[in-house]
């Protein structure tokens, strides 16, 4: 079985990347694991033209198809996202918007293979869990429209820098054991 761990932040060396590293390491014992960073892919913003609502194809041809290819290969998908103003980073939101051709909100639409399980790990610098829950909800909503079964989320508050992740490693590893 294949697992995809996606760093939803454009920062490749920060706290989110450190969590991606831990998750990938934990899952690699049980799954063929690949980790990617949203910044590894180049794509434009959704133009709102709605062509995909009738063709199931986007008028833009860029790396969205390449990243969706990774989703297609994965049995398990773990999105790791920091909070950018109480939601997912803009780069990941732009990707979500561009996945409209795969969205089950219209016919025809592209489909990825069924039976996938999705998870979310969210971190924020502040102490309140409400913001983490909102972001987990965004990722769960995204998974739902791709027909990826949401299986759970982990919110990590008061994590600003990479060094703070070490104190949360046991919590992250426990979450991974349930995947």
For 29-68, what is each residue's pLDDT tens digit?
999 999 999 999 999 999 999 999 999 999 999 999 999 9
Domain count, the chain: 1
User: Whole-model pTM above 0.85?
Assistant: yes
Domain that holds residue 140: 2-177
| Residue 123 and residue 140 in contact, taking contact as beta carbons nearer than 8 Å | no
CATH number of the domain encompassing residue 49: 3.40.50.360
Per residue of the chain (179 residues), give pLDDT as tens.
999 999 999 999 999 999 999 999 999 999 999 999 999 999 999 999 999 999 999 999 999 999 999 999 999 999 999 999 999 999 999 999 999 999 999 999 999 999 999 999 999 999 999 999 999 999 999 999 999 999 999 999 999 999 999 999 999 999 999 99
């Amino acid at each position: 079985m294949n697992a995809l761990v996606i760093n939803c932040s454009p920062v490749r060396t920060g706290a989110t990347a450190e969590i991606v590293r831990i998750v990938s390491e934990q899952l690699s014992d049980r799954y063929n694991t690949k980790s990617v960073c949203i910044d590894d892919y180049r794509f434009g913003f959704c133009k709102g033209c709605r062509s995909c609502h009738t063709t199931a194809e986007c008028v833009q041809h860029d790396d969205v198809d390449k990243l969706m290819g990774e989703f297609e290969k994965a049995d398990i998908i773990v999105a790791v996202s920091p909070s950018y103003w109480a939601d997912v980073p803009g780069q990941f939101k732009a990707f979500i918007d561009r996945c409209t051709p795969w969205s089950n909100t219209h016919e025809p639409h592209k489909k990825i293979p069924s039976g996938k399980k999705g998870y979310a790990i969210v971190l924020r610098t502040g102490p309140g869990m409400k913001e983490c829950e909102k972001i987990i909800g965004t990722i769960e909503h995204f998974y739902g429209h791709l027909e990826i079964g949401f299986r759970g989320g982990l919110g990590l508050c008061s994590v600003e820098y990479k060094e703070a992740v070490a104190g949360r490693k046991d919590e992250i590893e426990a979450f991974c054991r349930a995947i």
